[in-house]
Chain A
Amino acid sequence: QKEVEQDPGPLSVPEGAIVSLNCTYSNSAFQYFMWYRQYSRKGPELLMYTYSSGNKEDGRFTAQVDKSSKYISLFIRDSQPSDSATYLCAMRILTGGGNKLTFGTGTQLKVEL
């Protein structure tokens, strides 16, 4: 079993839809959670990061963490064609685990006009 599971998609939605992207993880030592966006043939771009359970909002993006269920989500409101990309969740242990990130496989999102 992978430490981080993420549905690879592809996920196709109409413009303006609310998108929900999810990851589950098995290692309860993970304490720091990130979402990256990666356009084709480019490096990943950090979107959001959070330490704690609950919601964190930034513009059209909301990151949600449920540590009791080992489940994290990224919501995109009013999705735009420019949001079409691969979204990777990543997580790490903060103490005693070095500074290595563990990534999900990424979900490919396509927002259609």
Chain B
Amino acid sequence: GAVVSQHPSRVICKSGTSVKIECRSLDFQATTMFWYRQFPKQSLMLMATSNEGSKATYEQGVEKDKFLINHASLTLSTLTVTSAHPEDSSFYICSAEKAGGPSYEQYFGPGTRLTVT
């Protein structure tokens, strides 16, 4: 199998605070992890690509100082939403690509629903 977990599954925070979301590959090593956000009834929007041991690559329009990504090990990446605002409320999903495998599929976590009040 290829299981990816996320923690927390839901979080409510006050405007101006920071929130950290963890993404873990449980039964495989992932050199690359991806962070997406998804608005209701819309597709996934890639925010950034995170490679283990190096700086994340952010998509155009995504503020790197607001969405801090750390990929400290082959099984863990974190996304920190700093100084959160209500417009940051969304469904955040991570995915992981297996290291060294012959194929290129990404395995997704269950998502984290962030609500900023």
Seen from chain A, the residues whose Cβ lies within 8 Å of a Cβ on chain B are 8, 32, 34, 36, 41-46, 49, 88, 92, 94, 98-101, 103-106, 108
Taking A49-B105, A94-B104 as known contacts, 20 extra A-B pairs with beta carbons closer than 8 A to each other, sorted by chain A number, are A32-B104, A41-B91, A41-B111, A42-B110, A43-B4, A43-B108, A44-B44, A45-B108, A46-B108, A49-B104, A88-B44, A98-B49, A99-B32, A99-B97, A100-B34, A101-B106, A103-B44, A105-B43, A106-B43, A108-B41
A contacts with B: majority SS:
loop
B contacts with A: majority SS:
strand
Chain B, interface residues (CB within 8 Å), range: 20 to 34
Docked CA distance A101–B111 (Å): 17
Known: A8-B41, A104-B43. A43 touches B111 (CB 8 A): yes
In the complex formed, the residue of A with least CB distance to B4 is: A43
Partner of A36, one of B46, B97, B108, B113: B108
